[in-house]
Structure 1
């Protein structure tokens, strides 16, 4: 069974963006040290245009071969004219409003996103599924998430878009690897207790 991993950036107080979802306040923390970490450990989580610009478009995927993201996350790429933001993986976008994909490499999941993720998890394969965001999709898929990789940047929003747009549910995860960076960022990996 393949894993669904929510690989997400957040503030110290657990927000993935301001109240409108804008996360640009976190961008300055993606410095040379942090980019090297992404390049060596998680190259597939960098968008295809980003990989090309940084000169590591040829690196093989290490953890994921499939990505699922919400409509708002996908819209960030579309606003830049990019219709296939993660061409290094199979791409799915969960959306109730986007009825037709603007790119043949991107499949729209308009109904039963949980069923689709269960189908993807049941596939054979060494690599997992990257849940890119956003908050509402993470909330809808909460019970299917096997692992969290949380990139925490040293800022506080005070209020904003939570990591999970869902109801209250106490759920335990086990801490695995922790890595800190000179700029104050910390990346923690958690596995769901089953």
Structure 2
């Protein structure tokens, strides 16, 4: 069975963006060492246009063949005139307000997102499903998440958009690995204890 991975950037205090969801302050940490790691280990998570710009356009998907995101995350691309930001992946956008997909590669899900994820997980294939964000979508899918890849940036927000917009409930994960970088970024990988 395929797995759902929440691959997400956050501040030291667990916020994925400011109160409006803006995480652009984290971009300052993209140095050569960290970019090499991202390009090598998680090239699928780079937007298609960026992949082309850094010479990764022809690199096959390594970890994921599908991305799931909420309208807030997707809106960043739409506002820039990009209707399929991850054209190298199957794109699913959770939204109740957008009723018609602006791109044939983008599937809109207004109903039971967790049920759709269970369908995706049951498909044949060795590549996984990437949960891109945001907090409300992660909250809806928290019971379906099999793996967490948390990129912690050396910043404290104090408040903002949490990693999960969900009610309190304990969910245990086991630490699989930690990777540190000279810029202060720490990437931790966890597997869901079931």
2:3 paired with 1:3? yes
Equivalent residue, structure 2, for 1:93: 93
Aligned residues: 194
2:39 paired with 1:13? no
Runs of 4 or more, structure 1, over 6 Å off, are: none
2:187 paired with 1:187? yes
Equivalent residue, structure 1, for 2:36: 36
2:93 paired with 1:109? no
* 1:130 aligned counterpart, secondary structure: strand
Per-residue CA deviation, residues 120-169 of structure 1 (Å, 9 max, x unaligned), is 00111100000000000000000000000000000000100000001111
Equivalent residue, structure 1, for 2:172: 172
Cα distance in 2 for residues equivalent to 1:78 and 1:55: 24
* 1:92 aligned counterpart, secondary structure: strand
For the aligned residue pairs, the C-alpha RMSD in angstroms reads 0.7
| Aligned ranges 1:148-159 → 2 under 5 Å | 148-159=148-159
| Structure 1: runs of 5+ lacking an equivalent | none
Per-residue CA deviation, residues 60-101 of structure 1 (Å, 9 max, x unaligned), is 111101111100000011111110000111111010111000
2:146 paired with 1:146? yes
Q: Please, what TM-score do these two structures have when normalized by structure 2?
A: 0.98
Q: Please, what TM-score do these two structures have when normalized by structure 1?
A: 0.98
Equivalent residue, structure 1, for 2:137: 137
| Structure 2: runs of 5+ lacking an equivalent | none
Cα distance in 1 for residues equivalent to 2:31 and 2:136: 28
Tell me how far 1:3 sits from its aligned partner: 0.2
Tell me how far 1:8 sits from its aligned partner: 0.1
